[in-house]
């Protein structure tokens, strides 16, 4: 059996959530770059693996899985030494799942909307409403942390990785001021100190942040 293969590019937050998980569990994986700009996600070969043509896709033991949330929970279940990143306890797992669904259905789509604004679309009202929606998502996140250190309690879970990859990207569009969001600000500080942070999230984030700066100027 070969190594699990992760297809994607680290510009993508969804891909970076998979890289964070892979590094956290010490997974020996192969990374295959898929460039969206070069339309490599629309090739016949890639569409056979993932007809939805999204990145990331994981290929493990000849089988393919896509959607980062499905991938990260699968990787922990199959390869992690314990269940701390995705607890088996039903209530704890439900809390992690809720955070993952929030990332997927609220935070990530609200971030994606920001990529539609640029030199050819500067509709100020639409832009303002998109920014307000993001600030509302930050408010929710601040409440989710509550008195805990992490998003689903007092230890790190895949919910933190999923939210981290997207949150660290979206703050390029709408900063989360420390005074207004003290809990998510401390959480972000804590997560950036993870030994694998730079490799798994920081490097790709620098590239996409430079792109966002250029498109927003």
Minimum CB separation of residue 180 from ligand GSH in Å reads 27
Phi-psi region of 39 (alpha: psi -120 to 50; beta: other; left: phi over 0): left
| CA distance to 39, 59, 75, 89, 161, per residue, from 101 (Å) | 28, 23, 18, 18, 13
Q: Is 111 in the site for ligand GSH (CB under 6 A)?
A: no
Q: Is 104 a catalytic residue?
A: no
- Per CB under 6 A, contacts with ligand GSH among 85-104 are 104
Nearer to ligand GSH by C-beta: 54 or 191? Answer: 54
Beta bridge partners of 5: 30, 59
| 155 close to 191: Cβ distance less than 8 angstroms | no
Q: According to CB under 6 A, which one of 22, 23, 49, 54 is a site residue for ligand GSH?
A: 54
Let me know how long the chain is: 217
Q: According to CB under 6 A, which one of 10, 27, 46, 68 is a site residue for ligand GSH?
A: 68
By annotation, the residues acting in catalysis are: 12
Question: Which residues contact ligand GSH by CB under 6 A?
Answer: 12, 14, 36, 41, 53-56, 67-69, 104
């Amino acid at each position: 059996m070969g190594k699990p293969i992760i297809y994607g590019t680290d510009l993508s937050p969804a891909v970076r959530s998979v890289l964070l998980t892979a590094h956290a569990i010490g997974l020996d994986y192969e990374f295959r770059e898929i460039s969206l700009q070069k339309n490599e996600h629309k090739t016949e070969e890639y569409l056979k693996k993932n007809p939805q043509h999204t990145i990331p896709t994981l290929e493990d033991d000849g089988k393919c899985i896509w959607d980062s949330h499905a991938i990260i929970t699968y990787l922990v279940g199959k390869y992690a030494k314990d269940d701390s990143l995705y607890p088996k306890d039903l209530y704890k797992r439900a809390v992690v799942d809720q955070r993952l669904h929030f990332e997927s259905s609220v935070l990530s789509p609200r971030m994606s909307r920001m990529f539609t604004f640029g030199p050819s679309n500067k509709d100020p009202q639409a832009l303002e409403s998109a920014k307000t929606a993001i600030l509302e998502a930050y408010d929710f996140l601040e409440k989710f942390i509550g008195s805990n250190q992490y998003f689903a309690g007092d230890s790190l879970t895949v919910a933190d990785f999923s939210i981290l990859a997207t949150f660290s990207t979206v703050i390029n569009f709408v900063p989360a001021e420390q005074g207004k969001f003290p809990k998510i600000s401390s959480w972000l500080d804590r997560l950036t100190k993870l030994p694998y942070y730079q490799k798994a999230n920081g490097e790709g984030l620098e590239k996409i942040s430079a792109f966002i700066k250029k498109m927003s100027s």
